[in-house]
Amino acid sequence: MSYEKERHMMVESQLRGRGIKDERVLGAMETVPRHLFAGPDMEDRAYDDCALPIGEGQTISQPYMVALMTELLELKGDEKVLEIGTGSGYQAAVLSLLASDVYSVERIDSLAVKAQKLLVDQMYGNVTVVISDGTVGLPEHAPYDGIIVTAGAPEVPSQYVEQLKINGRLVIPVGSRYSQVLYLIRKTLQGIERHVSTGCVFVPLIGKDGWTATEIY
């Protein structure tokens, strides 16, 4: 089953209907087969208006949140983007249609391996999945035009700002273990501009500059 009708309805009602305007983002989410990333157990719920479990206690984010975070990056097509939190690989697939190079970091081996295989099988060839602690960014490929963090951080890890280009954009949920605020942070020649987007709830960003595993249970 291709789920084209469900995907179109998701784009029109959940995304366009809630104010997502970037036609490139809407087009990418009309294209990427979210049901493949949600996996066989969740396939028939893949286009529902919610996050879904993907194993290992992790989730594939709600479609609206994927669209909003991607729109905030204002991608034009020639950018190098870093994603922290590969998870299912869905967000990385969306980014791959909107940017030139995508690096995606995941700390859980099994999720990273599964996502990389799916991304290769589905021909998202400009995505590289790296298994490591993404709280320190990915210095070997910096600087980035955009960084998107798909797990909730207690505060903004300093490496992310350091690894952004001037005029680069960082989208990151920051707050407590149980609820966060989505920030858009712009790095300018004059310093950092921070804008609040919306409230949100993400699984925790765990690592050296994030939560420790013991803090979250």
User: What pairing do the DSSP bridges indicate for beta strands 164-175 and 144-149?
Assistant: parallel
Residue 45: Cβ within 10 Å count: 12
Give the list of residues 6+ apart from residue 77 with CB closer than 8 angstroms, or none: 24, 98, 99, 100
What is the footprint of ligand SAM within residues 174-203 (CB under 6 A)? 202-203
Asked if 91 interacts with ligand SAM (CB under 6 A), we say yes
Packing angle of the helix pair 23-31, 63-72 (nearest 10 deg)? 140
The pattern of x and - marking residues 102 through 121 that bind ligand SAM according to CB under 6 A reads ---xxxx--x----------
Distance between CA atoms of residues 136 and 212, nearest Å: 14
Single residue of 133, 154, 165, 201 touching ligand SAM by CB under 6 A? 133
Asked if 157 interacts with ligand SAM (CB under 6 A), we say no
Asked if 84 interacts with ligand SAM (CB under 6 A), we say yes
**148/164 with CB nearer ligand SAM:** 148
Q: Which stretch binds ligand SAM (CB under 6 A): 13-21, 39-47, 82-90, 161-169?
A: 82-90
Cβ atoms 83, 108 nearer than 8 A: no
DSSP letters spanning 108-154: -HHHHHHHHHHHHHTT-TTEEEEES-GGG--GGG--EEEEEE-SBBS
Task: State the number of binding residues for ligand SAM (CB under 6 A).
Answer: 26
Please report, for residues 64, 78, 192, the alpha-carbon distance to residue 49 in angstroms, rounded to integers and kept in the order given.
8, 30, 33
Distance between CA atoms of residues 136 and 122, nearest Å: 29
The pattern of x and - marking residues 14 through 53 that bind ligand SAM according to CB under 6 A reads ----------------------------------------
Active site residue 61: yes
- Closest approach of Cβ 81 to ligand SAM, in Å? 12
- Closest approach of Cβ 191 to ligand SAM, in Å? 26
Give the list of residues 6+ apart from residue 48 with CB closer than 8 angstroms, or none: none
Pick the catalytic residue: 2, 61, 104, 197?
61
In the complex, the residues that contact ligand SAM under the rule CB under 6 A are 58-61, 84-85, 87-88, 90-91, 105-108, 111, 133-135, 150-151, 202-203, 205-207, 210
Catalytic residues: 61
